[in-house]
Every structure is written in structure tokens, then in C-alpha cells.
Structure 1
Amino acid sequence: MKFIHVSDTHLGFSAYRTLCADPGPYKGLNQREVDTYRSFERFVDDAIELRPDVILHSGDLFDSIRPSNRTLGFAMEQFLRLSKEGIPIVIIAGNHSMPRIRETGSVFRLFDHIEGVHCIYRGGYEKVRIGDMTIHGLPYAEGEEYLTRLDSISPADSRYNVMMLHTGVASLKAFQNSSTNDQVIEDSHLQKNMDYVALGHYHGYQKILDNAYYSGSTERFSFSEARQDKGYLVIDLDKGTKEFVSLPARKMIDLPYIDALHLDAESLINEIENSIPDNIDGAIVRMTVNRVLSSVRNSINAKKIKEQFSTAAHFELRIVSSQDKMSVQSTSAVFGHIEDEFISFVNARPIENIDKQRIKELGLSYLKKEAGQSD
């Protein structure tokens, strides 16, 4: 029994103001949105070539509860490709897909009629039988009720049993002392009598137990993921093999901090120029300069710095004064430390009945006004 484990595709994610310039159907769209489409399309290409018995998607197919018509149309096209090839896919809803209010409904209902597409999104534990495998799916939820449902899962009378969860795991450093309201479970809640546990929510490829893995996301979404490979897992239960397959992803470069305490403006510019990597073409680049004297900060030529990063898809310069106050000079988008945090916060929160993109635009305009910036 061979299957593919994929997760956290976040279709429809958008950030920065860079637009896709490539000729074709994506021209003029937000470049980061296009990146999510291309990585998923490449994944489907691979899946059709690999011919697995089933694909398991362990949550956050979309980046929001209410994806755009364009995003829904793209997902529909890719599912129809898989259906035409006779490759079933089982998807559980992640935290970006679960409405807080039951009456809100779910976009996953749109895919219920496509042959071979099985969506688990109604809140409860569901089982799907594919050949010799029973898939035990539990969509994202918070609170004790989730743990009760989790502990009720037990193997079915089939040759193989696989569990799918979208949750944090306490043994993973990323979820220790987390200040968010994410659901985090102990390793003991993972069913050790399962042949495999397909985890989603953490964006890096990570082994938790011998039979429990995060496949990670298919694209990079924050600088914390800059050094992570992106892709999916191919598991063959008959042979007992697991293989991580990388997908092309947008390069993100978070450059080492520059300490400017003893640098004048000219020396700082030279230091910045000497810190530019060899290949930044198409990359998302962030540079942080610490302990800048006020006299130096006021004389920094942002235009000259921008020219050094002109081939990057997005460049962000964060400047911290010697009094520990942050200011930002950014190109391709007016984003900096607080702006980046705001976008990450909005992206990570389910927002119902309101256009999430509109919230981002309004929030950024207020932050720019507060900082004395203008378009």
C-alpha cells in the first residue's frame, strides 16, 4: 500500500505587493499567491507520475475559511486531474479551514461530489476505507472535546490503519511555551498501534515517532521557514519505506544581523553591500541592522540600498536604533517588523464573514500612517 502524505498547502496565501510578471494565466496576480498554486500543481504532477493508492492531506489546504473564487477554481481543477487519473485524496480540515460558528458552513462541501475526493470537515472523527487501508481522520479543533475524540480512535478491521491529525505536538520545540491558542497534544495521544500517523500544522518535515511524521508545507510562508526544505512524503507500508520528496519553493533569505553601533553612514553602507549574498534573484530577503546611532540612521540612503537588492522579489530592511526603537525601509512592499507580525497574525486566524485581504490592507494603512509613511 503506497500513499503520499502532504499538508499545509495554504492555497490562496498572499503577501507583499510583488505581482507575477510571467506570461500566462497568473500574470498580474500576487506573486506569493501564485507560488502556492505552482507548488501544488507541481505536487499533483508528481502524484500522477507516482501513481499512489491514495493521497493524504493533513490540513490547511486553503489559507482561509473563505478562499477566493480563483483559489476554489484552481483547487477544483487539480482535484479533477487526480480524479480523472483514479487517484483518491483524503483531506482533513486544519485550523485555517474550520469555522468557529457551525452555521458558517464549509467550502469543502463543494468537493463532496467529485469522485475520489473525501473531505473530513464536519468536526467529528470519520473513517474512510481505501483498499486495504482505513484512514482515521480528525479535523482541527480546540479544547477537551478534541482530546476525547482523539482517544476514541482505534484500529479498524483492515490490513492497514492510518491516522490523520492537524495539531501541535508538545515534544516539538516549536509548540513548547506557545502563546497561541493552538491545540497541542502530548505524544501519548498519538496512536502507537497505528501503521502511520500523518500530521499537519507544523510547516517543517519532522519525525515525531517511528510511525508519526509532519510532512511540512509545500511552500515557505515566513522567515522562520527560510532554511526548511519543502515537499511531501511517499510511504510504502508493504515495503516499510518512507521518502521525503522536495518541491521547488520561493527562496527566503534572512541575513545575519549587522551591528552598527560603531559604524558611520558610509561604513554601514559598505557593510550592507558586503553582506549581499551572491544569488538573490527572485528571493525574499530581510536584513536587520542593530544599534544604529540616530545621526547615522537619518543619513542612510534607502534608495542606494534598494538598488543593491533590485533583483530580489521583495527586500525588507529593518533598522533598530541604539535606543532600541525600530524603523523600517522596505521595497516591493511597505512591510517591516510590526507589519510582518500583523500579516502573520491575520493569516493564522480564522476570520468569518469578512474579507481577510481587506483587513490586511486596512491594518497596514493604519500602521504606515502611525509610522509617518505614505504610498
Structure 2
Amino acid sequence: MVRILHTSDVQLDAPFHFLGDKGQRHRQQLRKTFQCIVDMAAEAGFDLLLITGDLFNDNRPHQDTIDFVVSQLGRLDIPVCILPGNHDCYDSTSVYRKARFPDNVVIFTEQPTIREFAELDVTVYGNAILSRQSRLSPLRGLTRTGTMRWHIALAHGNLVRPDIADPSRPIRPEEISASGMDYVAMGDWHAFADYSQGRVKAFYSGAPEPTAPDQKGAGYVACIEIDENGMQVRPERVGTISTDGISVDVAGKSVPQIVEEIRARADPNLMLKVTLSGLVGLGVVLDTERMEQELVPYFYHVECSDQFHPQLATISPDDFPEELVVGKFVRLMQARIEDATDDIHRRRAEQALQVGVALLQGRRVL
């Protein structure tokens, strides 16, 4: 049996500005998880480690991060194949031109690079990404060749789908099926996913840890097992941090009630995206930044976005006489909301109406 471990998109040294003071903590978490992946490769009987792009967040990682990666990969007595991605592309400034990797590490730099591992009966193919803006297919020119039994292509790019118009680094389903490969190890998308085509198995391993709060499905590696019966691929959880999103209807609720409803999901290892929806009374303004500050102690990270709308249908002229400034303002903003040409302008007008009425009435902005 041949056992292969596939990971991608670790993005070591990413800044994580959205995490604020926790950015450094998350950078350290990525290191810990990468070390766990190396431990798994060393201790669980794997024969080959594939890293399909964006091991580093860019081509300017700190020297101690480079030293960390070199040290970790040097612990392995199995081959490691690294494909430069779009974040750590193989351009003139590439980290892969500067760093000195152990002898067991193969950096895929040529177009294409082909490496045979006779002891495994495996050939690995790949095209390095040469620039962050590359529009070339990662599978271009990769043709099954040689006498090895198993053939694996490394590809860092975006699967072409009807809902994704003109993606960079496009991977077309028909390219996968026509490649003649046994396995296409994909990187760039951060969720574990199966996009096999016909007899060709094709998987995104996903990122081992989420690098943004909307990356559901991150936190895995792909484990490939090959024997006389064929090839099996399964996900293995390696990540510590998870992500999720919820919608909270704010209609008729006070700020403490809303906060308490969100806090019911408390988890110190959860990145949570909260959408506040529903209808609120005119002049009621929910300060999402303040709510986030209250919720920070209960989550790894929390983001609140307001998608609620004012109850325009319930506005009575008697409540806002036209001769008053607030009445003139309400009617002006109602007209702007009705005349809005798109959702963005409508949303801005609704927010202006909410805040304006609150301030004109001398009410506290919540």
C-alpha cells in the first residue's frame, strides 16, 4: 500500500488584520497545525507529502518562518513535493529561490516539473504558478508519461463552474477528465472538496486552518491510500479553529437580548459571522462594533453585519408631522429609498434614515 498526505494553503505569516490583537496568536496556530501535519506524515505511515500551493502567505516570510518550515520538513524521511501557489508564486522574488530546503523536498519550478518516485511506483507532475495574476491553467501541458503505475498532478487554481465567471488559474472539469491522471491534488480553495471527473479523482485538501471567518470546510487534509483495489481518498481533521455563520432576527428584541442569543453559541475556537436581519422600529440603530466588543471574550473571532431594515410600512404621518425637521427628513429619506437604483444605495438610505431619526429625536444610538 502507498499512503499519501495532501495539504495546501497553510499561508504561514499571513497578517490576519481582521483578528486585531489575535493575529499573532493565529499565526502561531498555523505553525502548530503545520507541525501536526508533519507529525502525521512521520508517524502515521505516509510515504509522500504533497503541498499544493500557498505554503507561505507571500514571498516575504520572516526568516524564522522559513527556518521553521525547513526544520519541520527535515524531520521527514519521505519525499515532499511543494508546488508554488499564487501567494508564494515562483517569480524573481520567490521564497523558493532563497531558501535551502532539505534533500527530500522537491520544489516544482519548471514548466512542467515531473518527478518519478520509483520506490512508490508514482510519478508526480506540476506547473508552478509564476505570478499572482496568472491566468494560465495549472494543468496545461501535463501529460501522463513513463512506466510508473500511479500518476498524480499538482494544481493550484480555481475550478471553472457556472457560478464563477472567468476565474484566474482556471481548472476546467474536462481538463481533469482528459488528463489521464489517477489523482489531481488541488489547492487554492480552502474547504475540503471532491471534484473528481470520471475515473480521475480530484480533490481540494482545503486549508488546515481557516484564514478568514467565512471559510466553512477548512481544517482538513486529504489522505490518499493506494493498493491493489485502487485509490481511496478521505478527509482527516487537523485544524483547531472552526468557522460558522448564523442569522439573528432582531425584530422586537433589545440589544442585551440579541447579544445573549449570539452568546449562546460561545466557543473559544470558533470564528462566527453574524447577520442581523429583520425589521426594526424607525430610529433604532444597532451599533454592531459595540456588540462585537461585548462578544469578543466568548469567541475566537466574531463579526456582526446589519442587514435589518426599518419598518417603513408602519410610519404614520401623525408621528412625524411634516412641519417639523424630523418629519421633513423622514419624507425626504423615504423618497430616496423608493428611488434607489440598487441594493447598495437603498441600504445606505435606510441606514441614514435610522440614524437621522434617532439623532433628531435625541435618542441614544444603541
Check if 1:121 corresponds to 2:112. Answer: no
The 1-side partners of 2:74 and 2:138 are apart by 35
The secondary structure found in structure 2 opposite 1:219 is coil
| Alpha carbons of structure 1 residues 326 and 276: separation in structure 2 relative to 1, 3 Å | farther
DSSP-derived class of the 1:281 partner: strand
In 1: Cα distance, 2:157 partner to 2:288 partner: 45
Q: Counterpart in 1 of 2:97?
A: 109
How far did 1:157 drift?
Answer: 2.2
1:324 is paired with a residue whose SS is: helix
Deviation at 1:18, TM superposition (A): 4.8
Q: So what's the TM-score if we normalise by structure 1?
A: 0.71
1:38 partnered with 2:24 = no
Residues 326 and 10 of structure 1: CA distance in aligned 2, closer, same or farther (over 3 Å): farther
RMSD between aligned alpha carbons?
A: 3.1
Given the superposition, is the C-alpha separation of residues 148 and 109 from structure 1 closer, same or farther in structure 2, using an over 3 Å criterion? closer
Letter in 2 for 1:45: D
Check conservation: 2:267, 2:298, Cα contact below 8 A: yes
SS in 2 for 1:270: helix
CA separation in 1, counterparts of 2:350 and 2:302? 15
Please give the alpha-carbon distance, in whole angstroms, between the structure 1 residues aligned to 2:115 and 2:350.
52
Question: Relative to structure 1, is the Cα distance of residues 2 and 81 closer, same or farther in structure 2, using a 3 angstrom cutoff?
Answer: same
Which residue identity lines up with residue 137 of structure 1 in the other structure? Answer: G
Cα displacement (A) at 1:30: 0.8
Task: Note the C-alpha offset of 1:294.
Answer: 6.1
Report the Cα distance in structure 2 between the residues aligned to 1:270 and 1:145, rounded to whole angstroms: 49
Name the stretch that deviates more: 182-191 or 53-62. 182-191
Q: Is the 8 A contact 1:292 1:320 kept in 2?
A: no
Secondary structure in structure 1 of the residue aligned to 2:221? strand
**Greater Cα shift, 288-297 or 34-43:** 288-297
For the 8 Å contact 2:123–2:150, the answer to whether it is kept is yes
Q: Please state how far the C-alpha of 1:309 moved relative to its aligned partner.
A: 4.3
Alignment of 1:118-157 (within 5 A): 118-122=106-110, 124-130=111-117, 131=119, 132-140=121-129, 146-147=136-137, 150-157=140-147
| SS of aligned partner of 2:152 | strand
Question: TM-score w.r.t. structure 2 length?
Answer: 0.72
| Alignment of structure 1 residues 232-247 onto 2, 5 Å | 232-239=221-228, 240=230, 241-247=232-238
Is 2:71 the partner of 1:77? yes
Structure-2 separation of matches of 1:324 and 1:182: 31
Identify which of structures 1 and 2 has the higher relative contact order when contacts are C-alpha pairs closer than 8 Å and 6+ apart.
1
State the distance in 2 between where 1:144 and 1:303 align. Answer: 41
CA distance in structure 1 between the aligned counterparts of 2:194 and 2:95, rounded to whole angstroms: 31
SS in 1 for 2:66: helix
* Residue of structure 2 equivalent to 1:324: 347
Residue 172 (structure 2) pairs with residue 186 (structure 1): yes
Aligned residue number for residue 220 of structure 1: 210
Q: Are residues 1:199 and 2:186 paired?
A: yes
Q: In the alignment, what sits opposite 1:87? A: 78
Closer/same/farther in 2, CA of residues 201 and 17 from structure 1, 3 Å limit: closer
Change (3 A) 1:121 1:66: farther
Relative to structure 1, the CA distance from residue 303 to residue 56 in structure 2 (aligned partners, 3 Å threshold; closer, same or farther) is closer
Distance 2:149 2:38 in 1: 27
Residue 96 of structure 1 is matched in structure 2 by: 87
The structural deviation recorded for 1:255 is 2.3
Equivalent residue in structure 2 for 1:311, among 298, 309, 324: 298
1:159 maps onto 2:149 in alignment: yes
User: Which blocks of at least 5 consecutive residues in structure 2 are unaligned?
Assistant: 310-345, 352-366
| Matches of 2:234 and 2:173, distance apart in 1 | 23
Q: CA 1:327 to 1:167, structure 2 compared with 1: closer, same or farther past 3 Å?
A: farther
Q: For residue 246 of structure 2, what is the aligned residue in structure 1? A: 255
8 Å CA contact 2:138–2:155 kept in 1: the answer is no
Q: How far does residue 276 in structure 1 lie from its aligned partner after superposition?
A: 2.6
Q: Is the 8 A contact 2:190 2:207 kept in 1?
A: yes
Once the two structures are superposed, residues 122-172 of structure 1 have per-residue CA deviations (whole angstroms, 9 ceiling, x without a partner) of: 5x101112232111111225899844971352322222211111111114x
Shift of residue 318, structure 1, vs aligned partner: 2.4
User: CA–CA distance in 1 between the matches of 2:307 and 2:138?
Assistant: 47
* CA-CA distance at 1:96 after TM superposition: 0.7
Deviates more, 1:276-285 or 1:154-163: 276-285
Question: 1:73-112: CA deviations, max 9, x gaps?
Answer: 2212211222xxx11100111111115xx4x332113445
Name the SS of the counterpart of 2:4 in structure 1. Answer: strand
* Larger Cα-atom Rg: 2
Aligned residue type for 1:5: H
Structure 2 counterpart of 1:53: 47
**Is 1:177 matched with 2:164?**
yes
1:10 deviates by: 1.1
Q: For residue 332 of structure 1, what is the aligned residue in structure 2?
A: none
Aligned 8 A contact 1:318 1:327 in 2: no
1:268/1:216 CA distance change after superposition, 3 Å? same
Question: What do residues 164-191 of structure 1 show as CA deviations (whole Å, max 9, x unaligned)?
Answer: 11111114x6xx3347x51212111124
Aligned residue-pair number: 303
Task: Give the Cα separation in 2 of the matches to 1:182 and 1:91.
Answer: 20
- Alignment partner, residue 3 of structure 1: 4
